[in-house]
A and B are shown apart, each in its own frame.
Chain A
Amino acid sequence: MSNENNKLNGKDLINIGVFAAIYMVIMVAISMLGFIPIFMILLDVLVPLICAIPFMLFLTRAKKFGMIWIFTILIGLLQLLTGMGPYAIITSFVFGLLADLIAKSGKYQSRSKAILATTVFSGWVWGDFIPMFVNKNYFDSLSNYADGYAESLKKLCPPWMLIVLFFAAFIAGFIGALIGQKVLKKHFEKAGIA
């Protein structure tokens, strides 16, 4: 690869991998709460809220176009490995690109654009929740449980919930980004890694 400044080199790609690993570990640790059924829905808020902190730190390293996008796509692909279904690949593809464009418009320096990018990036989480709403046929296949499960799921998450989750992810992402900004100032700049 060339030494041009705007092209991704090995070091950038390794940085993406390192931060994606940190992001995934933290996400998996939070997701353990999801085994309690009600918390499954709450993850839509908790994951963007807490994972915005490592993402904000990643943004201080991402100075070239493509890094944020690749990062998000990788997170989406890894959802397959954690069994969250294929929809997150689509949402991560879209929101990753948007977040990257926003950060680019601030030349990867602007603090406020970084907060906005983190907010938009958080939208990928929504993809993990789509399958809970869209495939009604699944309940047909669970012969003995069809009625009961469909009923209780309907009670817990009616269709409009999907729209609430969509916006909740962004709001949580925004609050997370503000916290992340404070944490960057308080800890990481002092430690010299931001």
Chain B
Amino acid sequence: MTDDIMPGAVHDRKGVVLDPRTKLLLLLMISVFSWSSIGGRAGWIILPVITLIPVILLYFSRKWKGAVISTLLFLAVNLISYTDLNKLSGGVYYIILMIVGIFGRLMPCIIMAYYLVYTTTVSEFVAAMEKMHVSEKITIPFSVIFRFFPTVREQMHFIKDAMDMRGIKIGGKHSSKYIEYRLIPLMICSVKTGDELSAASLTRCLGGSVRRTNICKIGFGFPDYVIILILIASVAASVIVRLV
């Protein structure tokens, strides 16, 4: 369950390991490039280039399934955007337009977020946040979210199964009760689990007055510098294109 998102312990540390700060910077840059007009006319080449970084990195981190899926998505969106489909008629054309226009912009961030979340341990993440002097008012809730997200999702599936059996599903006998009967049990059991989690963490002195130590060693290495250089180059390129 927890080796799903943000693994708790350091295992499986093969391949290229990036500093979490580099990953965050990359995520922010991809998000800015895909949603704002900062890239200008150069955006159409910069975005695919920096989106390719997490796609390649997934191979280096040996996340084969995610790597293959994101490669396929990347190719699909980019191939569709650069082929001429103007001959297609009405409805199909607009659907493809919407897919490329909206999904094409979500896709880079989702791939990067997938890479960030599945290759960073909670300890690494907290260590990086501490180095950036982020207050623990942000780091503690953040790490709780990553720890808790898979649990809530898992409970949601159990509740879905239970309600399906009673005919509470879309198109079922009691579909009007769908939202209420799915949400309320989910919230009640999540809150109970959350209380237990908080009791468990407090006994381990989370939020205590003493500074927390961390076994993780993080720092910038060669791959980090390469990626930061690419990012600086792409920002520079977009500025130059804009000025010329």
Interface residues of A (CB under 8 A from B): 1-2, 8-11, 13-22, 24-26, 29, 35, 37, 40, 50, 53-54, 57, 66, 70-71, 73-74, 77-78, 80-87, 131, 134-138, 140-145, 148-149, 152-153, 183, 187-188, 191, 193
User: Does B149 touch A at the CB level, under 8 Å?
Assistant: yes
Q: Point out the residues of chain A lying under 8 angstroms from B140, CB to CB.
A: 10, 13-14, 17
By Cβ-Cβ distance, the 3 closest A-B pairs, closest first, are: A10-B207, A17-B144, A83-B109
CA distance A40 to B105 in the complex (A): 13
User: Does B191 touch A at the CB level, under 8 Å?
Assistant: yes
Residues of B196-233 whose CB lies within 8 A of A? 197-198, 201-202, 206-209
Count how many pairs of residues, one from A and one from B, have CB atoms less than 8 Å apart in the complex. 204
User: Does B141 touch A at the CB level, under 8 Å?
Assistant: yes
CA distance A8 to B14 in the complex (A): 39
Q: Point out the residues of chain B lying under 8 angstroms from A8, CB to CB.
A: 137
Q: Point out the residues of chain B lying under 8 angstroms from A145, CB to CB.
A: 81, 97, 100-101
Instruction: A18-B198, A70-B137 are known; give 5 further A-B pairs, CB within 8 A.
Output: A145-B97, A152-B94, A183-B180, A188-B184, A191-B188
Closest to A26 in B: B183
26 pairs of residues in contact across A and B, judged by CB atoms under 8 Å? A2-B209, A10-B140, A10-B202, A10-B207, A11-B198, A13-B141, A14-B140, A15-B198, A16-B144, A18-B148, A25-B149, A53-B183, A54-B183, A80-B28, A80-B109, A81-B116, A84-B109, A134-B37, A135-B37, A137-B37, A137-B39, A138-B37, A138-B43, A138-B105, A144-B81, A152-B94
